Chains A and B, each alone.
Chain A
């Protein structure tokens, strides 16, 4: 699996724009160009349509039981947001998601960085077999370990606390793979030189390796955030108190309460989705690299 990842290290996908001109008669070229533009616009319309109707529904009043097609909010309103906020602790869910995703991300990025360093640059007995075992865990389906993981977390007394979500969340091993890949590309001579100067291994990591890891940290952070912000099945199993829900289980909870009240549901879906979308639009480059390199989700 590792050897076949198509992007090398962290090459930026968007970096190179192909400008090679297709030869042929100018007329045919123009027809081809027009066809491509039409195709691209059609694709864009299909891809945006679901998000657009979500937006419209979220800001439409009385859309709860509407049966008519609405492609534009006739009278934009925040009513859907206010009535859901008044009834349920949506603010807490948001804060919980921030807390859980934040702590998990910090933890996950930290252990991925140190672990990646150990697997890429340090020599120790059992390095290769342990790494292969970690890689194999990427293939464990979440539902395969649901029952034992629940019993484990429950016997640790963590059920109903954020730690029940955070600790297994930080154990997701995609980061280790990414970090090792990146760190292997750092020239060993750099590290060796520092050693000759008498620096200890932690010192080398801290002063030589870490400063080179900024793009890696960005990618790891964004991926971990996305993964944890969206995680559903596991929090659904271990978080029991509605006041401690994260956004995805809060959303599913609201589905049970509002059923076909699309206005209320889309308002909350928008709220849960917006932070990641904004983050994505700002740091698109890193997101794309990370996704391309790990294939997560």
Chain B
């Protein structure tokens, strides 16, 4: 993560006088609307905020104590973890498979690729609505399809596991395209000579994949892992629109729970801020651990 030393524009020793002019706007915007709120979030997580007046009262660690005894919070935490555990490896594995497919000899390759990453540009709300069209239990397309094909009808909305599956499926639909793009770029960076050399030595297709291609995909895998986990911890739009966290709290995730707590009927913004802080800490810890692991792996290899 360290920025490599760039040979900059030299100007008598102390630095460029117009640097503030150039760096100022972005630093100011990010400082005011990202860094400052993050700091304030830590403060507000220790307070109680009155719903209408917005008056702030100090409550110490009370919000975190509530959290420790809140079954819905733990359910959301568990759901978020489960969501990440399924969608992250799932989208990466499918993405890799598609990348290998699209990197092979195939007619109309650009068309197939476009189709796979098209869902990426669709907003989370639209994806949620399309999901509702598919998964609605009484008037959905999948129900009609199941009936037409004589398959059993799945209770996508009223059964917790099925609703969770619907969220996972629609997420995979969106995310595999992203994973494919990254892996495709990495595959195309694998020098063909390496494969040819391996072939000369009599390596089979699988051996070549396992010993030549896979190791070179390491950086892409690491990048996807970080990005996908951050995405999973943040997931909101699609769940909010598709299931609203239900049935019960079967699909409640940290994102929807934090929003509902702060801006829903509970009107508890202090507690909402506390949940947000936990999400931030989890994201940060995960990223740092992964980063250190990947650095250790790299250093070990050198």
Do the two chains touch directly in the complex (Cβ atoms below 8 Å apart)?
A: yes
A295 touches B227 (CB 8 A): yes
Once the chains bind, are B9 and A201 in contact (CB under 8 Å)?
yes
Residues of A within 8 A of B34 (CB): 137, 140, 145, 168, 171, 173
Which listed segment binds B: A77-85, A86-94, A112-120, A211-219?
A112-120
Interface of A is mostly: helix
Contact A132 B3 (CB under 8 A): yes
Q: Mark B237-262, 1 if CB is under 8 A from A, else 0.
A: 10011000000000000110011001
**A294 and B20 alpha carbons, distance in the complex (Å):** 25
Residues of B within 8 A of A188 (CB): 6-9
- Is residue A68 contacting chain B, with contact meaning CB distance below 8 A? yes
- Residue among B11, B30, B101 having the largest count of chain A Cβ atoms under 10 Å: B30
Q: Is the CB of B122 within 8 A of A140?
A: no
1/0 contact string of A220-251 vs chain B (CB within 8 Å): 00000010011011000100000000011101
Q: Which A-chain residue is minimally distant from B108 (CB atoms)? A: A40
CA–CA, A13 and B185, complex, Å: 6
Contacts of A112 in B (CB 8 A): 26
0/1 string, B212-255, CB within 8 A of A gives 1: 00000001101110110011011011001100000000000011
Determine whether A98 belongs to the interface, using a CB cutoff of 8 Å to chain B.
no
Partner of B19, one of A124, A147, A184: A124
Bound together, the chains give a CA A41 to CA B147 distance in angstroms of 24
Q: Name B1-46 residues within 8 Å CB distance of A.
A: 1-3, 6-11, 14-23, 25-27, 29-30, 32-38, 40-41, 43-44
* Inter-chain contact A277/B121, CB cutoff 8 Å: yes
Binary contact track A1-41/B, C-beta < 8 Å → 1, others 0: 11111110001011011111111000000000100110110
Given contacts A115-B27, A277-B118, A281-B114, contact A230 B123 (CB under 8 A): yes
Among B9, B35, B236, B241, point to the contact of A123 (Cβ < 8 A): B9
In angstroms, Cα B223 to Cα A82, docked, is: 45
Q: A41: nearest residue on chain B (CB-CB)?
A: B112
Q: From residue 266 to 291 of chain A, which have CB atoms closer than 8 A to chain B? A: 266, 269, 272-273, 276-277, 279-281, 284, 287-288, 291
Q: Whose C-beta in chain B lies nearest to the C-beta of A287?
A: B121
User: Would A146 and B16 count as touching, CB distance under 8 A?
Assistant: no
Inter-chain contact B121/A67, CB cutoff 8 Å: no
Q: Is the CB of A140 within 8 A of B38?
A: yes
A2 → chain B closest CB, angstroms: 6
| Contact A118 B22, beta carbon cutoff 8 Å | yes
Contact check, A288 vs B117: say whether CB atoms are below 8 A apart.
Answer: yes
Closest-CB distance, A86 to chain B (whole angstroms) = 20
Chain A residues packing against B (C-beta within 8 Å): 1-7, 11, 13-14, 16-23, 33, 36-37, 39-40, 43-44, 47-48, 50-51, 53-54, 57, 65-70, 110-112, 114-115, 117-125, 127-128, 130-135, 137, 139-149, 151-152, 154, 167-168, 170-171, 173, 176, 184, 188, 191-192, 195, 200-202, 204-205, 226, 229-230, 232-233, 237, 247-249, 251-252, 255, 260, 262, 265-266, 269, 272-273, 276-277, 279-281, 284, 287-288, 291-292, 295, 297
Interface residues of chain B, those whose CB is within 8 Å of chain A, are 1-3, 6-11, 14-23, 25-27, 29-30, 32-38, 40-41, 43-44, 49, 54, 98, 101-107, 109-126, 129-134, 136, 138-139, 141, 143-145, 147-148, 170, 173, 178, 181-182, 184-186, 188-189, 192, 195-196, 199, 205, 219-220, 222-224, 226-227, 230-231, 233-234, 236-237, 240-241, 254-255, 258-259, 262-263, 269-270, 272-273, 275-277, 279-280, 283-284, 287, 291, 294
